[in-house]
Amino acid sequence: MSENIWGYRPAAGHVTGSNLAGYKVEATDGSIGKVDKHSDEVDASYLVVDTGVWIFGKHVLLPAGTITRVDAAEEKVYLDLTKEQIKDAPEFDKEKHLTDPAHREQTGEYYGRHRRV
């Protein structure tokens, strides 16, 4: 896949430097939670989403390339993934995602297989 999974899509409408914390996150088949944290780092952009009760209060790591649209007016982020695809993703480890290249690679490969471009 030529498009970088860790970069925002040009058509997604994300403005670098804007704060997405607190935005609702929508999978193709419904809401999955709210953005807890995000990064705009070049080639390493991501969202950490608090899923609340949906997946027993877990957090999930979503590469920025899975975002199809950011709606600032509604404060929502739309993904090209289903709830099931997100639920089946590699487990998020808040310590490893920034320090362990293998964890980042595994997560990127998983989402790269499932997204629609």
Please compute the mean of the pLDDT values over residues 37-51 and round it to a whole number.
91
Q: Tokens 């979503």: give the residue.
A: 62
Check residue 15 and give its pLDDT. Answer: 87
Check residue 116 and give its pLDDT. Answer: 66
Cα–Cα distance between 111 and 90 in angstroms, integer?
9
pLDDT band at 22 (very low <50, low <70, confident <90, very high): very high
User: CA 46: distance to chain centroid?
Assistant: 5
Identify the H or E element spanning 79: strand 76-79
Give me the chain's average pLDDT, please. Answer: 89
What percent of the chain shows pLDDT beyond 70? 92
